[in-house]
């Protein structure tokens, strides 16, 4: 199974990047995962959407060819980071990359609420006519106080959080298989 992870943070020291790497390592027997960084994605512009820069074409193709997407994102000011929204805007136009794409959401924040508000917005965006992704129902992964839950090797060490992640990933994989 081919999964693409879309990272909502472009920070080199990103906690969500550490989390995406942890997911890649821990579930390597369940799927092959490529982590996409959004740092080189230009701002969406309708004037060039029919022939966008190659970097946009490349990420769209990777998403289109995948069996599913995991979005791993922080919350910025009670919503999703601009880089993620911008990328979803590109995905929503012309050859739409995420239509009916099984999608799971994971988010980590340094605060207590673990990206609850961002994920509510994200689900709304993913449900728009242009993006039209299929989001894994019922399962939600909110990781608060992330800095206390990662060790010096960038591994998640909080057992209850790992349990939720294990269950959610397993539900995600089963859900994709069922829909095939």
Nearest to 168 by CA among 150, 156, 153: 156
Please report, as ranges, the residues that interact with ligand FMN according to CB under 6 A. 9, 11, 14-16, 74-78, 109-111, 113
Minimal distance, residue 79 CB to ligand FMN, in Å: 7
Residues 6+ apart with CB under 8 A from 57: none
Report how far residue 65's alpha carbon sits from residue 81's, in angstroms, rounded to the nearest whole number: 25
Minimal distance, residue 158 CB to ligand FMN, in Å: 15
- Cβ distance to ligand FMN smaller for residue 108 or 134: 108
Nearest to 76 by CA among 103, 49, 107, 55: 107
- Cβ distance to ligand FMN smaller for residue 100 or 124: 124
Minimal distance, residue 109 CB to ligand FMN, in Å: 3
Minimal distance, residue 117 CB to ligand FMN, in Å: 7
Minimal distance, residue 9 CB to ligand FMN, in Å: 3
- Cβ distance to ligand FMN smaller for residue 10 or 55: 10
- Cβ distance to ligand FMN smaller for residue 36 or 134: 36
Cβ-closest position to ligand FMN: 74
- Cβ distance to ligand FMN smaller for residue 78 or 167: 78
Nearest to 81 by CA among 38, 145, 40, 46: 38
């Amino acid at each position: 199974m081919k999964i693409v992870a879309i990272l909502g943070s472009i920070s080199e020291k990103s906690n969500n990047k550490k989390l995406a790497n942890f997911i890649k390592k821990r579930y390597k027997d369940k799927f092959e995962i490529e982590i996409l960084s959004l740092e080189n994605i230009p701002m969406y512009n309708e004037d060039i959407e029919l022939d966008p820069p190659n970097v946009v074409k490349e990420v769209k193709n990777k998403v289109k060819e995948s069996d599913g997407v995991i979005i791993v994102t922080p919350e910025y000011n009670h919503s999703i980071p601009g880089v993620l929204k911008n990328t979803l805007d590109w995905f929503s136009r012309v050859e739409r990359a995420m239509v009916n794409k099984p999608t799971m959401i994971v988010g980590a924040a340094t605060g207590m609420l673990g990206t609850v508000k961002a994920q509510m917005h994200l689900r709304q965006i993913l449900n728009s006519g242009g993006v039209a992704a299929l989001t894994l129902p019922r399962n939600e992964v909110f990781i608060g106080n992330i800095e206390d839950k990662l060790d010096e090797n960038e591994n998640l060490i909080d057992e209850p959080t790992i349990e939720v992640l294990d269950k959610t990933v397993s539900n995600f994989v089963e859900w994709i298989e069922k829909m095939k």
